[in-house]
Structure 1
Amino acid sequence: MRILPVLALSALATGLVVVLPGGPAAAAALPTGARSLESVNYPGRFVRHAGALGQLEAVTSGSTAQVRRDATFTVVNGLAAPGCYSLQTRDGLFLRHRDFRLRVDANTGDATFRADATFCAVDGAQAGSVALVSYNYPDRRVRHRDFALWLDPYQDTAAFRADSSFRLAAPWAPKTTKGPVIPGLFADPHIAAFGGRYYLYPTTDGYAGWGGTYYKAFSSTDLVNWTDHGVILDHGPDVSWADDSAWAPAVAAANGRYYLYFSGGAASGDTTKQLGVAVADSPTGPFRDALGRPLVRGGQFAGGQAIDPMVFTDDNGQSYLYWGQGVARAVPLGSDMVSFDPAQVRVVTPAGYNEAPFVFKRAGLYYLMWSENDTRSEDYRVAYATGSSPLGPWTNRGVVLSKRLDAGVKGTGHHSVVRAPGTDTWYMAYHRFAVPAGNGTNRETTIDRMDFNADGTIRPVVPTL
């Protein structure tokens, strides 16, 4: 991977007009989700991977199931830039270039792979078609040559433009299973309902060492169809004290505004994590750092790591901040939502706790939930306790969500809970290893219903595909 000029990277990452040799090309927006890519100048031939290598091949309804599957990709959030795109196979691999040859490989999460697997879309040679510009080689486009797919320098000729243009077609192998609710790699989802609409705030995943730097917001009216509202906070330009480890956001509404609580660290090698808070006038941002410094400093309290913030607001309007890996802490927030009295911080760590505290209230009963084990383990899971106040004391009720190996579902955890407005219907959003080829840094977000027994205990949530 080579280093790009700052202006070139900025244009590609934000979806602005990309200027290539031979004149300007207008940026194009791609719909996310399952698609097949048909050649403009060879109708009936589609982008497909045969083994690992990318090629152009004729595909029809009579083609084998494997050919149709190999000619289907999911357009997802760009692994290296949110304004661009990556193409994921049905087997969880990503289309990328290596030595300028197109192939599919598993996402290693390092900067080179993410850049090699990210493409920015511009208008193609014919109306409605697109061309895919390399993120890290912006003078090169994906094109077919002798029906093999290459990344070649742009040529201002009709032949090259046709060879590098594709129509987005219905997928040859439609997805038949439920989830993920957001195409692509996202984890640690915080779900909330504001103004009768649902909002999801996840960690952007797919980075080695969980080194993502930005957050996106998604919204829905039905928990099925989600709108991507883009980047709402980016540690790079928006947070002076953190430039790495953009983890596990949570959003709360108060004072007619919206408060985003987040984890942050430094890319310099310092492993200390801290908690911040940002504020916006809309649940979809943009958010700005409310303090210009951490809300909870790394090492401010002995034991545990300052990550995974969550805010619960009780019926009387009092809000509480919860956080911590290894040790769970809680404290009443000030009415400004950006301050607290350190002397009031309380340790509330239940047995089996690792991280991701979440608190809600139903029918007068308080629920403290958390994740057990390591997020890299297939045994990552959710447990809970009940209590009579936001600070306990708590009665441990055991595990409520765990892996389902018969369906290939592993690593189910770091959840959040939302109640459908005006009802007693509840849902749990959580992440799992991406199905089928995910792991602890390649995770996806899904949602399942959460039901209760007559005594208020939660019935085990069965992960669904």
Structure 2
Amino acid sequence: MTIGRRAAGTAALVLASSVLVTTAAPASAATLPTGARSLEAVNYSGHYVRHTGGLGRLDPVTSTSPAQTRLDATFTVVNGLASPSCHSFQTRDGLFLRHHDWRLRVDANTGDATFRADATFCAVDGSVAGSVSLTSYNYPNRRIRHRDFGLWLDTQQDTAAFRADSSFRIAAPWAPRTNRNPVIPGLFADPHVISAGGRYHLYATTDGYAGWGGTYHKAFSSADLVNWTDHGVVLDHGPDVSWADDSAWAPAVAAANGRYYMYFSGGAASGNTAKQLGVAVSDSPTGPFRDALGRPLIAAGRYSGQAIDPMVFTDDDGRSYLYWGQGAARVVPLNGDMTSFDPAQVRVITPAGYNEAPFVFKRNGTYYLMWSENDTRSEDYRVAYATGTSPLGPWTKRGVVLQKRLEAGIKGTGHHSVVRAPGTDTWHIVYHRFAVPAGNGTNREVAVDRMEFAADGTIRPVTPTL
């Protein structure tokens, strides 16, 4: 299944057709906010969707209920695992609400297409004002409803009782999050952040896919690196990129020529597993972006190592440099059009311990080259850095600055970017980690922490936070 705007549109068409057949009037798509929420039954006041013993139920919850009950009745509404236009519901212990044999239960995300579809639900208007009904993504004629206080995925019926049993009010969470991280709800990785137009703009790999087979890129923006606005899909490999239809990895954006250039990794689902680098362009940092070349900027096999993880650094003189590569780190000055370069100027700059995800910035005349060590599936994935006197080096390795913190349950901290608050010497590092507590190398989330410098310009070790 190719997941993205095409699949979402198909599901929406099927849903609209199903609703027209089985109800007196077609239901309309409902707005469902992301973040921590609880779901209250419209016809059983004070009864909320919760999970217990692995199964979804409808139970009474009050402020005096045990803490575990309130936790079990709290879900994080996230980007739909199978479609960005729908939603998935993540428990506080990292599981997802899904249907199996028509019963609603919570399970760990396996990342395969069947699980993603089973755990994705599209919101339509419920039976009373302000309520929603949740339609199955892969069985659009079925909705979540409570029956004998169990949660089931049942075929839609044109009755008042069914409409009430399948409608829920979106309520404040019984167990609100108190942690700062993750900064955007859901599964995302490889974050790249820039400052533009008075806001921070974040781009990330959409995660939660077996084999990292995501197909689209999203953009988020924030005024404070804490509260983020989701700007939706800004580039979809299915309809928007002719030479790639999956492996939408590691988007990185640079501003030049009054425009915004997104560099990204892409692959073909047809069996060619080799990755290539592309570049897309937009007049806005929030997209939409369009493929600038109609072909890869760097084709698979052109250089040794895997062609992934692009990043562009622009120096004070306006010259931009493209960095990329897994296994080998390369750099090349970009031409003024930001979409071409002289192959004769490509240089290998692989530091000791390097695996992937190069990132370069400049502070007080010193250039910093940062990268990720070890495999992204390893809890030992981490960030190291070197310093140099030019964007091309030479580079002197300084050590590891970000790594796992097992006493807090934080693992796999890596593939980062760095941003400076405009007009200050305040810096932040944005990175991914295994989703806490049940994540792994394909179920990752995005975190932000302060990054500070010693008097000699070295980077102090960053303590990853919850």
Provide the C-alpha distance between the structure 2 equivalents of 1:365 and 1:9, rounded to a whole number of angstroms.
47
Q: Does 1:438 align with 2:428?
A: no
For 2:9, the equivalent position in structure 1 comes to 10
For 2:313, the equivalent position in structure 1 comes to 312
Provide the C-alpha distance between the structure 2 equivalents of 1:177 and 1:195, rounded to a whole number of angstroms.
28
Q: Which amino acid aligns with 1:261?
A: Y
Q: Does 1:150 align with 2:149?
A: no
* Corresponding residue SS for 2:26: strand
For 1:119, the equivalent position in structure 2 comes to 121
Q: Which amino acid aligns with 1:342?
A: P
For 1:347, the equivalent position in structure 2 comes to 348
* Corresponding residue SS for 2:386: strand
TM-score by length of 2: 0.97
Deviations along 1:430-456, one digit per CA (max 9) or x if unpaired, are 000000000000000010000001111
Q: Which amino acid aligns with 1:292?
A: G
Q: RMSD between aligned alpha carbons?
A: 1.7
For 2:58, the equivalent position in structure 1 comes to 56
Provide the C-alpha distance between the structure 2 equivalents of 1:453 and 1:14, rounded to a whole number of angstroms.
57
For 1:393, the equivalent position in structure 2 comes to 394
Provide the C-alpha distance between the structure 1 equivalents of 2:74 and 2:281, rounded to a whole number of angstroms.
40
Q: Does 1:42 align with 2:44?
A: yes
For 1:84, the equivalent position in structure 2 comes to 86
Unaligned runs of 5+ in 2: none
For 1:424, the equivalent position in structure 2 comes to 425
Deviations along 1:403-430, one digit per CA (max 9) or x if unpaired, are 0001000000000000001111000000
Deviations along 1:256-312, one digit per CA (max 9) or x if unpaired, are 0000000000112211100000000100111000000000000001x2100000000
Q: Which amino acid aligns with 1:429?
A: V
Aligned pair partner of 1:258 in 251, 257, 260: 260
Judge conservation of contact 1:191–1:199 (CA < 8 Å) in 2: yes
Q: 1:7 offset after TM fit, Å?
A: 8.6
For 1:238, the equivalent position in structure 2 comes to 240
Provide the C-alpha distance between the structure 2 equivalents of 1:12 and 1:221, rounded to a whole number of angstroms.
34
Q: 1:176 offset after TM fit, Å?
A: 1.9
For 1:174, the equivalent position in structure 2 comes to 176
Mapping for residues 66-465 of structure 1, pairs under 5 Å: 66-301=68-303, 303-465=304-466
Q: 1:17 offset after TM fit, Å?
A: 5.9
* Corresponding residue SS for 1:62: coil
Q: Does 1:27 align with 2:29?
A: yes
Q: Which amino acid aligns with 2:380?
A: D
Provide the C-alpha distance between the structure 2 equivalents of 1:361 and 1:14, rounded to a whole number of angstroms.
49
Provide the C-alpha distance between the structure 1 equivalents of 2:148 and 2:262, rounded to a whole number of angstroms.
51
Judge conservation of contact 2:6–2:239 (CA < 8 Å) in 1: no
Q: 1:396 to 1:15 in 2, by over 3 A?
A: farther
* Corresponding residue SS for 2:321: strand
* Corresponding residue SS for 2:255: strand
Provide the C-alpha distance between the structure 2 equivalents of 1:328 and 1:103, rounded to a whole number of angstroms.
44
Q: 1:237 to 1:230 in 2, by over 3 A?
A: same
Q: Which amino acid aligns with 1:456?
A: G
Q: 1:134 offset after TM fit, Å?
A: 0.3
Provide the C-alpha distance between the structure 2 equivalents of 1:313 and 1:18, rounded to a whole number of angstroms.
50
Judge conservation of contact 1:189–1:445 (CA < 8 Å) in 2: yes
Judge conservation of contact 1:12–1:83 (CA < 8 Å) in 2: no
Provide the C-alpha distance between the structure 2 equivalents of 1:387 and 1:14, rounded to a whole number of angstroms.
55
Q: 1:249 to 1:49 in 2, by over 3 A?
A: same
* Corresponding residue SS for 1:24: coil
Judge conservation of contact 2:39–2:171 (CA < 8 Å) in 1: yes
Q: 1:9 to 1:461 in 2, by over 3 A?
A: closer
Q: 1:290 to 1:90 in 2, by over 3 A?
A: same
Provide the C-alpha distance between the structure 2 equivalents of 1:178 and 1:201, rounded to a whole number of angstroms.
19
Q: 1:16 offset after TM fit, Å?
A: 9.4
Runs ≥4 residues deviating over 3 A: 6-9, 11-19
Provide the C-alpha distance between the structure 1 equivalents of 2:8 and 2:460, rounded to a whole number of angstroms.
48
Deviations along 1:350-370, one digit per CA (max 9) or x if unpaired, are 000000000000000000000
Judge conservation of contact 2:187–2:207 (CA < 8 Å) in 1: yes
Provide the C-alpha distance between the structure 2 equivalents of 1:450 and 1:110, rounded to a whole number of angstroms.
36
* Corresponding residue SS for 1:25: coil
Q: Which amino acid aligns with 2:369?
A: L
Provide the C-alpha distance between the structure 1 equivalents of 2:14 and 2:449, rounded to a whole number of angstroms.
33
Provide the C-alpha distance between the structure 2 equivalents of 1:368 and 1:7, rounded to a whole number of angstroms.
39
Q: 1:333 to 1:243 in 2, by over 3 A?
A: same
Judge conservation of contact 1:252–1:260 (CA < 8 Å) in 2: yes
Counting matched residue pairs gives: 462
Provide the C-alpha distance between the structure 1 equivalents of 2:17 and 2:35, rounded to a whole number of angstroms.
24
Judge conservation of contact 1:202–1:215 (CA < 8 Å) in 2: yes
Q: Which amino acid aligns with 2:408?
A: A
Judge conservation of contact 1:15–1:27 (CA < 8 Å) in 2: no
Unaligned runs of 5+ in 1: none
Q: 1:34 offset after TM fit, Å?
A: 0.5
* Corresponding residue SS for 2:239: helix
